Amino acid sequence: MKQSTTLVTGGAGFLGSHLCDRLIDRGDEVICLDNFFTGQKDNIIHLMNNPKFELIRHDVTFPLYLEIDRIYNLACPASPVHYQHDPVQTTKTSVHGAINMLGLAKRTGARIFQASTSEVYGDPEQHPQSEEYWGHVNPIGIRSCYDEGKRCAETLFFDYHRQHQVEIKVARIFNTYGPRMHPSDGRVVSNFICQALRGEDITIFGDGLQTRSFCYVDDLVSAFVLLMDSNSEITGPINLGNPNEFTMLELAEKVLSIVGGSSKLIFKELPQDDPRQRQPDITKAKSMLNWEPSVQLDDGLSETVKYFRHLLG
């Protein structure tokens, strides 16, 4: 395969920085685009002197003119704490960002990957969630800026594909964790680990019986690359995540067993529209990409705890 010039929007973020590493390792020229709202320079500092890596500070809600072969559109705050901070900008990032990146793909003939989300399923009435499920989403709630923004972005991707023959790849990403998560992103894995490392009580929302499925970042990035490299007829959307389901109480117990200490569990009210269940049906990923996650939660949590232990000193 010829060397590609690949644009990664949100490339200094948690997922984006790991993707930049993977693409550089395989020989791609990588242009990392980030406005540093949630991305961090520490995530990519090790790449700054690499001749195959270039960093551009830019917001995807404004047009961009580059010559590239491939685009991974990852730009958008993805945790409730961050996307609810400026909900109007969150929607703009998903919708205007998609329009601008699709326009760039159309002009250059680039293949474009959209980092969509399991949040398009909302608080699901189908379990586990398959790609054929249309979702159960509140269009006017506090999570809507993200949920509906990502749903609209998927619409734009498929309309550009049908109307302008743009080559698209749409991935619906389920809960992912690993090194380089933002310590204050409000996500459950980083919350539990940071609270345990600081010796604080661990906050459980609701009764702790709601479930999530956690995919380690290395597994997810492998799926990104496989999907991008797949036959052009495979457009997605394709669920990417780990189908092993855990309650919040089980996750808290695993974190405490790794970190140690004397943290207690405290319970608070469940936030509005917080899904009770989240589990991907990855049948399509298995059959179309020959992919399924291999890192077990205990192993991935150990690596993530090491990262946060070093980060928090």
pLDDT for residue 238: 98
193 belongs to a structural domain:
no
Q: How confident is the model over 19-58, as pLDDT tens digits?
A: 999 999 999 999 999 999 999 999 999 999 999 999 999 9
Asked, for residue 192, whether it belongs to a domain, the answer is: no
What tens digit of pLDDT does each residue of 250-306 get?
Answer: 999 999 999 998 899 999 988 776 778 889 999 999 999 999 999 999 999 999 999
Evaluate whether residue 74 is within a structural domain.
Answer: yes
For residue 256, tell me if it sits in a domain: no
Beta bridge partners of residue 6, listed in sequence order: 30, 70
**Domain annotation covers residue 266:** no
Could you say which DSSP state residue 219 is in?
H
Q: Return the closest-CA partner of residue 110 out of 51, 31, 48, 171.
A: 31
In a domain, 150, yes or no: yes
Domain that holds residue 30: 5-174+217-241+279-293
- The beta-strand segments (E) located in the chain are 5-9, 29-34, 53-57, 70-73, 111-117, 168-173, 176-177, 202-205, 211-213, 215-216, 238-240, 245-247, 265-268
120-165 pLDDT tens trace: 999 889 989 999 999 999 999 999 999 999 999 999 999 999 999 9
Q: What is the mean pLDDT of residues 6-18?
A: 98
pTM: 0.95
CATH number of the domain at 90, please. 3.40.50.720
Residue 3 binned pLDDT confidence (cut-offs 50, 70, 90): confident
Listed residue (299, 303, 306) closest to 197, CA to CA: 306
Q: What pLDDT score does 69 carry?
A: 98
Between the alpha carbon of residue 250 and those of residues 49, 157, 208, 303, the distances in Å are 42, 37, 8, 18
pLDDT at 72: 98
What string of H, E and C letters represents the secondary structure of 140-205? CCCCHHHHHHHHHHHHHHHHHHHHHCCCEEEEEECCEECCCCCCCCCCHHHHHHHHHHCCCCEEEE
Residue 278: its pLDDT value, please?
85
The answer to whether residue 166 is domain-embedded is yes
Per-residue model confidence (pLDDT) at position 186 = 84
Position 2 scores a pLDDT of 60
In a domain, 110, yes or no: yes
Give the position of tokens 């200094």.
Answer: 12
What are the tens digits of pLDDT across the range 180-221? 999 888 889 999 999 999 999 999 999 999 999 999 999 999
Confidence at residue 148, expressed as pLDDT on a 0 to 100 scale: 97
Residue 79: pLDDT over 80:
no
Task: Indicate the number of domains in the chain.
Answer: 1
Residue with tokens 């991707």: 157
Q: 307 an active-site residue?
A: no
Q: Choose, from 72, 121, 146, 177, the residue flagged as catalytic.
A: 146
- Res 97 pLDDT > 80: yes
Cα–Cα distance, 159 to 135 (Å, whole number) = 19
Percent pLDDT > 70 in the chain is 99
